[in-house]
Amino acid sequence: MNFLTKFSGILIFLSFITSIYAYFFNKDLVLISGLIAWFALMILYVLLSNKKILNTLFILSILAFAFSYYKGFDINFIKVFTVNQYLLSLLIGVGFLRLIASPKKDKSMSLPKGKQSFFKTYLGIHLFGSVINLSSLILVADKLYKKAPLSNSQVIVLTRAFSSDAYWSPFFVAFAAAITYAPNLSPSIILINGLFLAFIAFVVTYLELSNDKKFKLDDFKGYPVAFETLVLPFSLAFLVLLTNHYFPQVKVIVLIALFSLLLTLFVLPIKKGLTKSYNQLKMHLIDELPKMRLEMSLFLVAGMFGISISTILIGYDVSLPFETFDWIIASTLLAIFIVLSMVGIHPIITIAIIGDFMSSVNHTLLAITFLMAWSTTVSTSPFSGLNMTIVSRYNFLAIDIFKLNISYALKMYIVCVLCLFILNTYVIL
């Protein structure tokens, strides 16, 4: 790893610290934190493997801003560089939890087998992933892959257990994206609906695996995550909820990002000692943070593109093509999300494009639609970060993941539409 790559990790952390400081003490500094993140991205740009989408979005953004400037439209330059800054801060902050939430080393030579192993593996990935995101899936998948190539049933469990976190988890990047563009949402409705959808996702998965003999659920080999390892990350949830109760005006994503770092700094020395803690934190900054380049580039460039498009729409005073944002419109929007994801358009890009433009609609219904779209598409789309990780790391074909999960995505879409109808008719009036 060269010096510039290490330096970019320091810049990413500096951007994180500046964002938190700006939020509580001087909001004008948020522009500085955004510019630092962009500078880090410029350094890491050469290491990005797939630049086509990013280059396209960046060029289109520049052209859109040039057109807006020519037309005299009002361009919010601060938002251009900072619209997704707190979303990025959440991603950085939660990443520190890996240092204190790693399961104990497994000394057994064989993997547990059967339905009980399936239940524990699914639930472990889901709960663990709800807090430390993709790290949970990699942690479990690495253990499985060391024993044998991943089976179809294992891939199904890995993708669905993890992606269904996006329906409800406030520690998930999907939630940060939703709350960024729909800040006036109702957390309780989001949580209850999301947990219900996550449960339905589990039931659908279990029924598919148990009813189809080719998956041989009784022979399923899993790697149950020890649940004592969840104590520390879920103490974060307690801290966030308690603080939010007394200071409801503070953004939840800021609290999660801040407490993730503080909890790590408090617990890590207790577990590892000062010297090892220092070394691990140092390696995290210069080694792990630069590995966020794909997510960071996507959030920054997609945010810029979304602002460029919304600037033109607002400049021309374009109104929404519907009078009321109801469950029918939400269901249509959800279908559009799914179709676009299948051709390589990440949900964050679509959210960034329409987020500002739809700021006047019901934020709770809009946020739920965003979360449904993220969860449903991440498990199935060959272009999602989740599936690209499995393809590149575990030698599994993207088309096979698509075939395994496309029927699941269609079933969950129908369930999501029913939920949108019920929510819009009886809950969100």
Digit-coded pLDDT (tens) for 73-115? 999 889 899 988 988 898 898 888 878 866 555 555 456 788 8
Greatest mean pLDDT among 93-102, 118-127, 412-421 lies in 412-421
Mean pLDDT value across residues 405-423: 96
Return the pLDDT at 299.
Answer: 85
The per-residue pLDDT of the chain, averaged, comes to 87
64 pLDDT exceeds 90? yes
| Half-sphere exposure (Cβ direction) of 376: Cα atoms closer than 13 Å | 32
Give the residue from 160, 178, 11 showing the smallest Cα distance to 87: 178
**Opening angle at CA 263, ends 142 and 183, nearest 5:** 90
Q: Is 131 exposed, middle or buried (0-12, 13-18, 19+ CB in 10 A)?
A: buried
Quote the domain boundaries for residue 137.
3-427
User: What's the rounded Cα separation, in Å, for the pair 295 and 177?
Assistant: 12
Higher pLDDT, 226 or 85: 85
321 SS3 class? coil
Is the pLDDT confidence value at 343 over 90?
A: no
Q: Is 264 in contact with 163 (CB distance < 8 Å)?
A: no
How many percent of the chain have pLDDT more than 70?
95
Looking at the structure of the chain, the number of domains it has is 1
Q: Which 3 state secondary structure label does DSSP give 112?
A: coil
Mean pLDDT of 203-228: 84
pTM: 0.83
Position 247, amino acid:
F
State the pLDDT at residue 102.
61
Give the 3-state secondary structure of residue 84.
coil
Q: Is the pLDDT of residue 336 over 60?
A: yes
Q: Do 204 and 408 touch, CB atoms closer than 8 A? A: yes
Q: Return the top range by mean pLDDT from 75-84, 192-201, 359-368.
A: 192-201
CB of 171 closer than 8 Å to CB of 94: yes
Q: What mean pLDDT do residues 196-223 have?
A: 90
Contacts of 327 (CB under 8 A, 6+ apart): 365, 417, 420, 421, 423, 424, 425
